[in-house]
Amino acid sequence: MKVLIIGGGGREHALAWKIQQNEEVSSIYAIPGNAGLSQLAKNFSIDLTDISGLATFTEDKKIDLTIVGPELPLSLGIVNEFQQRGLAVFGPTREGSKIEWSKSFAKKLMKENNIPTAGFETFSDPLEAKKYIRDLGRPSAVKADGLAAGKGVLICPQVEDALQAIDLIMAQKAFGQAGEHIIIEELLQGEEVSFLAFTDGDTILPMSSAQDHKPIFHNDKGPNTGGMGAYSPASLISEKMHQKIMDNIMIPMVEGMARLGIHYQGVLYAGLMIHNDEPMVLEFNARLGDPETQPILMRLETDLIHIMLKTLQKKLHQVSLNWRQGASTCVVLASEGYPGPYPKGREILGLKEAAQISETVVFHAGTAKKEDKIVTAGGRVLGVTAVGDSIAASIDRAYAAVNKIHFDGMYYRKDIGQRALCRPV
């Protein structure tokens, strides 16, 4: 069986690491891949917006299954194109992925289906938006409606911040077309959790929960990033909370989409804020999270290809997920300057030594090969991920591996998983 993975981050390296454990998988291709993926897969370079080119490549190579990592090709209809050509592809269609590429669509769906989320209004006129903010007079989150690489949300404690955010998005067009419409939301308090599930449009199979660490600095300070680390399971999610999330959020969302004619297939990711034991949706994503995928897949014992093929056959009800007991932790090593501009091409040392630590995998994100060296090539460079019998054991292992790795300007958070450690059990 030949499998193609679309993407080149830590999430995609983790996908390749997991699926190569299936004996039926004879070869893996990655577009564009990274230096880590090149050890498991053949990397090819095709622009991820060239949907027709990607489909033709898949036909030429006689790929049996394509797995789409990032949101951009989903939003451009990669799944629609592949399905039209009779190619097996895991992920939602353009219509399904609209829950991620249009925040206003997602919010409207949530409202119609009584899914708990922050109160909001949508605007296309900056003057109206500003009037609303002045009348509101409370802290808010101002969001560009479209895809903005995780940067389109501005947290505004003061009215003045919100007025500036509206200008940044709508007048200065900081996120281009994504900011033609904006959402203004009430600001929620609480703790964030990522809740992901496989779904074939009928059955919803929840994964083990995870907690991301979005801000760049320790203690959740500084600007948001794609995610500086994650652990799984998120101990905040009790069994009761898990059921509440399924009943009040995941099931109504999939059913709500079905009523619109969208038979959602792939991964449904709910970014949640938990406050006073109540989960509220911050956002939906139409894909696996990065870095959540790394710790989640390291604990998933069930074969991933099996899950994905059953999803495509609409037979997910035949699958149950098994998880390794204990916990896993992923610490992201980033380039200095990230999430702003950062240098590239710095040699990475210590990868072999880190890999010798048991139950630890160093997933590559922004890495490249240069002659016989592996060098930095992105903001998030590596995701050092370890499993342990407890969250503490997995944290210790992950940081022991981190200590073996070095590149100039290497930056990481030292508090990944600390919230879980501090929580009373």
Q: Which is nearer to ligand AMP, 236 or 282 (CB)?
A: 282
Among ligand AMP, ligand GLY, none, the one that 188 touches (CB under a kind-dependent 5 to 8 A) is ligand AMP
Instruction: Name the minimum Å distance from CB 341 to ligand GLY.
Output: 21
Among 161, 180, 283, 415, binds ligand AMP (CB under 6 A): 283
> Which range of residues in 48-56, 244-252, 284-292, 299-307 is near ligand GLY by CB under 6 A?
284-292
User: Sheet of 278-285: strands edge to edge?
Assistant: 204-206, 191-199, 266-275, 278-285
100 near ligand AMP, rule: CB under 6 A: no
Q: Which is nearer to ligand AMP, 143 or 310 (CB)?
A: 143
Lookup: tokens for 131 = 């009037």
- Tell me the C-alpha distance between 31 and 21, whole Å: 20
200 near ligand GLY, rule: CB under 6 A: no
Kindly tell me the sign of the dihedral angle through the C-alpha atoms of 235, 238, 244, 250: positive
Instruction: Name the minimum Å distance from CB 227 to ligand GLY.
Output: 4
Instruction: Name the minimum Å distance from CB 195 to ligand AMP.
Output: 13
Which residues in 386-425 are b (16+ Cβ under 10 Å) and which e? Answer: bbbeebebbbbbbbebbebbebeebbbbebbbbbbeeeee
Among ligand AMP, ligand GLY, none, the one that 81 touches (CB under a kind-dependent 5 to 8 A) is none
Among ligand AMP, ligand GLY, none, the one that 12 touches (CB under a kind-dependent 5 to 8 A) is none
Backbone angles phi, psi at 157, to 5 degrees: -65, -35
Question: Omega before 291 cis (within 30°)?
Answer: yes
- The DSSP bridge partners found for residue 322 are none
383 near ligand GLY, rule: CB under 6 A: no
Among 227, 252, 256, 383, binds ligand GLY (CB under 6 A): 227
106 near ligand AMP, rule: CB under 6 A: no
187 near ligand AMP, rule: CB under 6 A: yes
Q: Which is nearer to ligand GLY, 148 or 387 (CB)?
A: 148
Which residues in 341-374 are b (16+ Cβ under 10 Å) and which e? Answer: ebeeebebbebeebeebebbbbbbbbbbeeeeeb
Instruction: Name the minimum Å distance from CB 190 to ligand AMP.
Output: 8
> Which range of residues in 9-17, 182-190, 226-234, 346-354 is near ligand AMP by CB under 6 A?
182-190
- Tell me the C-alpha distance between 295 and 292, whole Å: 6
Which of 305, 301, 304 has its CA nearest to residue 324? Answer: 301
| Contact of 253 with 109, CB cutoff 8 Å | yes
185 near ligand GLY, rule: CB under 6 A: no
| Contact of 316 with 198, CB cutoff 8 Å | yes
Positions touching ligand GLY (CB under 6 A) are 150, 212, 226-227, 285, 289-290, 292
Positions touching ligand AMP (CB under 6 A) are 118, 141, 143, 153, 155, 185, 187-188, 192, 214, 224, 271, 282-283
